[in-house]
Amino acid sequence: MKLQRRGSCSTGVRGYRATVVALIVLSFLFALSTTAVWAEETGQAAPVNPQFLEYMAQKEAAELTGTPLNIVLEDEYDTGLVPSPIDFSYLHALSGGTYPTRFDLVTQGRVTPVRNQGHCGSCWAFAALASVESSLMPAAVTDFSEQFIIDTHGFDNPPCAGGNEHMAIADMARHGVFAENLYPYQYLRPQTSLPPTSPSTWAGAHINSAQLIAAGLDSNGKPITTDIKYSVYSELTAAVVGFKVVQKSPYLVKAENGDECYYNDTTDQGDGHAVAVVGWDDNFSKKNFGIPPKGNGAYLVKNSWGTGWGNGGYFWMSYYDKSLSKNAYVFNNVTSASTYNWTYQYDTLGWTTNYGWSGSTKGSMANVFKASPQGKVIRAVSFYTVNPGTKYTVEIYDKCPQTGSSSTEPVIDPVGGTRLTSESGTLTTAGYYTHKLKKPVTVSLGTTSAVNFSVVVTLTDTTGYKYPIPLQSQQSNHTDRSTVLMGQSYVSNTGAEGTWHDLASYDSSTKVYSGDRACLKAFGTAK
């Protein structure tokens, strides 16, 4: 596909030279890598992403030395993608699938206009909403607010100090998305005019799912293209990916005729940037790139640096780009903001770590809630899964008994009440998922006494991964606002009565409170 040229590619870069104090780096890496874990018989956390550890060490050093960590490139094009604490090297790709050699969502009328993130590290929010918006087209033309996401995500980072797709998912899952004209974008350069806004087809939306898919290169250096093609072609939704942008020739070049813009990074060095893949061409010549990759093929990518950059805001990225992230996301299940009246949740910051038990790929988690009159009819439950093919069971128990004698440290059995429903399934893809109950259930209201209901989810990973439970964890300088009270959030290796561990309880083996929360929500209506 040939797009109309609106501008040229930038070819310079202002080198990023953050001062990292050696002792700070070493001490910070040690502190994070030795984050408290439970005893083996209780459970333990999956290894932390090494890139996240390095990023947090640099962040700590930058705060102490006054060196800005947010990246601004030579032509003042900001990035803003920061590493997730989750190490996705375990992620399995989808199998099979037959796709055309060339396809794109632009010619299908399923891509909203190119936006401009301005002078702000907010690419992650723009890329996420590019996917959300494309999922609703062409039936609904939407323009959702990136400003709302970066202002309300709840993590320790200020609005323009960067983020990632997990932060975007957590924010969207917490309270949905809002129309741009209701919360317009402000972080533009002084010389840039405020873009016009008009009412979207939808004033807001509820996010039901965000598929986690594999991307980048496999261990043999072969491109993993199946998952992105599945999402773009079968789901007709843009896929959010990250890469290490280095705006310096020969990585980023424009063709001699000026019609196209190409990118191929032969290293994994540079600054993180999130974009949206909207198409591909298997026969795109490797000769187009400054340093030819091993083979032909490229993704068509929508950027967030305005239409004056690249080819009207787009560029081609080689399948063989070594900096491409190992995982991508697709926001492909969006419904009206009024779908549910009430959200029960403790994991406002979402999925930040995986937990499991030695020798097992199965585990259970539960959250205990008090019913609200506005949400007494439970209609759906949402959670995360770590790999495609995960098997799950959703259960809801009413009138869960409190067996503890102290009101400040209640002991509640999440499976000790009356079971109202039990439903099971298997998920094709990983990521954030909402299970709509086949038959909604009504939970009891505690009008004169403490009455609780629980949502229990059991997950079984079918790939052999031994950390199937997604949790929100408290991580210094990242999720400091993550706290949990006794009697709210639980995990168990079997799900049986008497095997549940309160995530706020004192662990005698580590002498600390874990302070984690199960990534598990329930959605209800008044009737």
CATH number at residue 168: 3.90.70.10
At 255 the pLDDT is 66
Residues near 13 by beta carbon (within 8 Å), at least 6 away in sequence:
73, 74, 246, 247, 248
Q: How confident is the model at residue 12 (pLDDT cuts 50, 70, 90)?
A: very low
Tell how strand 314-318 and strand 261-263 pair up: parallel
Same domain flag for 311 and 399 = no
Domain boundary among 332, 361, 381: 332
Q: Above 60 in pLDDT, residue 280? A: yes
Beta strands in 288-341 (DSSP E): 298-302, 314-318, 327-336
Count Cβ neighbours within 10 Å for each residue of 461-483 and write b for 16 or more, e otherwise. Answer: beeebbbbbbbbbbbeebbeebe
Strands 469-472 and 353-356: antiparallel
**Of 474 and 387, the one with more pLDDT:** 387
**pLDDT top residue among 23 and 523:** 523
Query: What distance in Å separates the CA atoms of residue 18 and residue 58, rounded to the nearest whole number?
Result: 7
Domain boundary among 285, 313, 332: 332
User: Within 10 A of 255 (CB to CB), how many other CB atoms are there?
Assistant: 14
Task: Write out pLDDT tens, residues 129-169.
Answer: 999 999 999 888 889 999 999 999 988 888 998 999 999 99
pTM exceeding 0.95: no
For 356-398, write each residue's pLDDT tens digit: 998 899 999 999 999 999 999 999 999 999 999 999 999 999 9
Phi, psi (5° rounding) for residue 144? -95, 160
Q: Name the band, by pLDDT with cuts 50, 70 and 90, for residue 35.
A: very low
Q: Are 321 and 242 in contact (CB under 8 A)?
A: no
| Confidence at 474, pLDDT banded by 50, 70, 90 | confident
Same domain flag for 440 and 298? no
Whole-number pLDDT of residue 507:
56
Q: What percent of the chain has pLDDT over 90?
A: 59
Q: Tell me the HSE value of 290 on the side-chain side, using a 13 A CA sphere.
A: 17
Query: Which residue, chain included where needed, has tokens 């004698």?
Result: 405
Which pair of tokens denotes residue 341?
């009246």
Give the ranges where 361-404 is alpha helix by DSSP (H).
none
pLDDT at site 258:
61
Is residue 275 very low, low, confident or very high in pLDDT (cuts 50, 70, 90)? Answer: very high
For the residues 251-267, what does the mean pLDDT come to? 78
Average of per-residue pLDDT across 405-434: 88
Tokens 């093919």 sit on residue: 389
Parallel/antiparallel/unpaired status of strands 377-385 and 520-525:
antiparallel
For residue 249, being part of any structural domain is answered with yes
Could you tell me which residues are beta bridge partners of residue 458?
364, 393
How large is the average pLDDT for residues 108-115? Answer: 94
Q: How many domains does the chain have?
A: 2
Q: Which of 4-13, 54-63, 263-272, 324-333 comes out lowest in average pLDDT?
A: 4-13
The pLDDT value recorded for residue 248 is 67
Same domain, 143 and 265: yes
With a cut of 90, say whether residue 42 has pLDDT above it: no
Identify the residue with better confidence: 83 or 486.
83
For residue 54, the tally of other CB atoms under 10 A from its CB is: 15
Give the CATH number of the domain where residue 402 resides: 2.60.120
How confident is the model over 487-493, as a mean pLDDT?
92
Q: Which pairing describes strands 469-472 and 44-45: parallel, antiparallel, or unpaired?
A: unpaired
Quote the domain boundaries for residue 425.
Answer: 340-525
What DSSP designation does 230 have?
I
Whether residues 324 and 442 share a domain: the answer is: no
Residues 230 and 354 in one domain: no
Residue 29 has pLDDT above 70, yes or no: no
Q: From 312, 332, 352, give the residue that closes a domain.
A: 332
Is 75 or 185 the better-scoring residue by pLDDT? 185
Cis peptide bond prior to 250, omega within 30° of 0: yes
Q: Are residues 241 and 384 in the same domain?
A: no
Does one domain contain both 280 and 351?
no
Contact 323, 268 (CB under 8 A): yes
85-109 in b/e burial notation, b at 16+ Cβ within 10 A? bbbbebbbbbeeeebeeebbbbebe
Residue 13 has pLDDT above 80, yes or no: no
Residue 298 carries which DSSP code?
E
Q: What's the whole-number average pLDDT of the chain?
A: 85
Beta strands in 372-429 (DSSP E): 377-385, 391-398, 418-426
Nearest in space to 329 (alpha carbons), one of 215, 465, 476, 478? 215
| 518 lies in the same domain as 441 | yes
Q: Compute the distance between CA of residue 491 and CA of residue 415 in angstroms, rounded to an integer.
A: 12
- Is 163 within 8 Å of 82 (Cβ atoms)? yes
Examine the domain organization and report whether 296 and 429 are in the same domain.
no
Residue 406 has a pLDDT of 57
What's the CA gap between 189 and 186, in Å, rounded? 9
Tell which residue, 90, 123, 142, 167, has the closest CA to residue 349: 167
Same domain, 212 and 302: yes
Name the strand (E) or helix (H) holding 406: none
In-domain check, residue 19: no
